[in-house]
Amino acid sequence: MGGMGKAAVAAAALLLAAWPVGGWAQGHSGLVVGMQLEPPHLDPTAGAAGAIDEVTYANLFEPLTRIDAAGAVVPGLAERWTVSDDGLTYTFTLRPGARFHDGSVCDSADVKFSLDRARGPQSVNAQKAYFAAIDTVETPDPRTVVVRLSRPDGLFLFHMGQGDAVIVAQETADTNKQKPIGTGPFKLDRWAAGDRVELVRNPDYDGPKPALERVTFRFISDPAAQVAALLSGDVDTFPQFGTYEALDQFRKDPRFAVLDGTSEGETLLVINNARKPFDDVRVRRAIGHAIDRTTLIDGAMFGTAKPIGSHFPPHRPEYVDLTGLSAYAPAKARALLAEAGYKDGFDAVLRLPPPIYARRSGELIAAMLAEVGIRLRIENVEWAAWLERTFKGRDFDLTLVAHTEPLDIGIYARPDYYFNYRSDRFNATEDELSRTLDPARRVALLQQEQRIVAEDAVNGFLFQLPVVTVQKAGVTGMWPNRPLQANDVTGVSWK
């Protein structure tokens, strides 16, 4: 190599060394948030993809009420509200200074438009059922909205705080997918499709100003790339970090903080209750006793998850620990199977959707069930096929998935739900719950429901899906738990 060559290499090295990539040297008014999936668009009222809410909820768009970090209902666009004694009339008072990002005032007409659109015949809202109880929406003055229900709905305020219920303007409703115009403290600056969404602070926001001037959401699907992005300092915080095997490394590194949180996702071995031999409660109970949750959680989730014994998250006050009803007891499982007429076990298919928790748990469970004579063949499928054949077509024996909708134990009362469970006892409880507003009675009923589905061993109840956030040690204010699918960064700052 001649002198020229050496000089060129030296120059290149200098150039590279001086390159301002410095993730670790960043200023403290911005935040880079890592996400596994990119949202297909940015309109939370027109799609179920969790990634949409993870960018937009509370940051770009606001609903009437809001769900806070603890899962409680707090004021959102409505600064206060009253509920009539019969639970049928809700009167919301809007924040006086609320404005959309295009400068227009957000008033009661926008609320009426948003609610009517979500429940109307042309609605493509993924959670249209949230609005089903609404009978009329009236707007006596620009700051007052009166919603009358046709029946009491104990979860109405909770549902009105979800991303699917955000308030949009009529003028921009059809273009929100690409150009979201909300009332939130941030507005969209730039969306580099496939790579990142950048938000900037909204200077005209009427509420408390967020500490961050700029928030960048980066979409990194590959597990190795997620780890590299954190270690190189490119990403400041990664909520819902899915590469559990790398957690130990981050826990030991003083540059990082690891937040162990919990989600609303009950992870279930879903059983088709209508199909032989699973229509026999003894077979379903046998499956429960054959599963060793401790080994499962250690093996599939690297010890980060909490076991569940029914369809309810352990972090909620109404939770009852029912794991004892399906404690690991392989001998008991074999006895139950023999009693049901399957002394030699049987064959079945376990269909697994793509998430890593499902694939890993499924393989361990197949091995555990084999111990008691249930021989499972594993079938890996993509989401599109899972939704069509398993969820909608109900053509399956067993599948494994986390049910992430908050407070969704009511699904056990649906006659056409995919696990085909029918129980008059449960339905009567759910019916009473939906009409009950008294908090103490609601708690009792919710606990009753947990007991019924656990006693009937409707599904294999495995664990609450954990939410692990890995971030730089200097970041504060990220939600450790996930009461709903959101990355509310309005309260995030740097130490």
Partner 1 sequence: MIHYLGRRLLGFAVSAWVAALAVFVVLDVVPGDPALLILGTEAQPDTLAALRAQMGLDRPAAERFVRWSGGLLRGDFGTSHTYNRPVASLVAERLAVTLPLALLALALAVAVGVPLGVWAAARRGGIADGMVRGFGRLGVAVPNFWIAMLLIWVFSVALGWLPAGGFPGWQAGTGPALAALILPAVALAVPEAAILVRLTRAAVLDTLREDYVRTATAKGVGRRVVLRRHVLPNALIPITTLVGLQFGFLVAGVVVVENVCTLPGLGRLLTQAIGQRDVTVVQGVVLLLAVLVMAVSALVDALHAVLDPRPRRAA
**Contact residues: partner 1, CB under 8 A:** 16-17, 19, 21-24, 38, 40-41, 46-49, 121-129, 177-178, 192-196, 218-222, 224-225, 228-229, 231-234, 382-385, 387-389, 391-392, 405
Task: CB nearer to partner 1: give 125 or 361.
Answer: 125
Residue 375 C-beta: closest distance to partner 1, Å: 25
Rounded distance between C-alpha atoms, residue 44 and residue 424, angstroms: 35
- Nearest-approach distance from CB 94 to partner 1, in angstroms: 27
Q: Give the span between the Cα atoms of 322 and 304, in whole angstroms.
A: 20
Complex with partner 1: residue 131 or 244, whichever CB lies closer: 131
SS3 call for 232: coil
- State the nearest-atom distance from the C-beta of 123 to partner 1, in Å: 6
- Identify which of residues 23 and 299 has a Cβ nearer to partner 1 in the complex: 23
Return d(Cα 190, Cα 63) in angstroms, integer.
Answer: 23
Q: Shortest CA distance to 36 belongs to which of 232, 229, 190? A: 229
> What distance, in Å, lies between the first and last C-alpha atoms of the chain?
50
* Nearer Cβ to partner 1 (193/440): 193
Is residue 37 a contact partner of residue 197, using CB atoms and an 8 Å limit?
Answer: no
- The residue among 417 and 494 lying less far from partner 1, judged by its C-beta, is 417
Task: From residue 324, give the alpha-carbon distance in Å to each of 264, 288, 332, 357.
Answer: 21, 10, 13, 23
281 or 387: CB nearest partner 1: 387
Torsions phi, psi of 380, nearest 5? -85, 130
Nearer residue to partner 1 within complex by CB, 418 or 463: 418
CA distance linking residue 403 with residue 399, whole number of Å: 12
Write down the least CB distance from residue 220 to partner 1, Å.
5
Residue 196 CB, shortest distance to partner 1, in Å, is 7
CA atoms within 13 A of residue 21's CA, in its CB half-sphere: 10
From the CB of 430, what's the least distance to partner 1, in Å?
Answer: 16
- Token pair listed for 153: 């709905």
For the chain, the farthest-separated pair of C-alpha atoms sits apart, in whole angstroms, at 90
- Tell me how far, at minimum, the Cβ of 56 lies from partner 1, in Å: 15
Cα–Cα distance between 456 and 453 in angstroms, integer?
A: 5
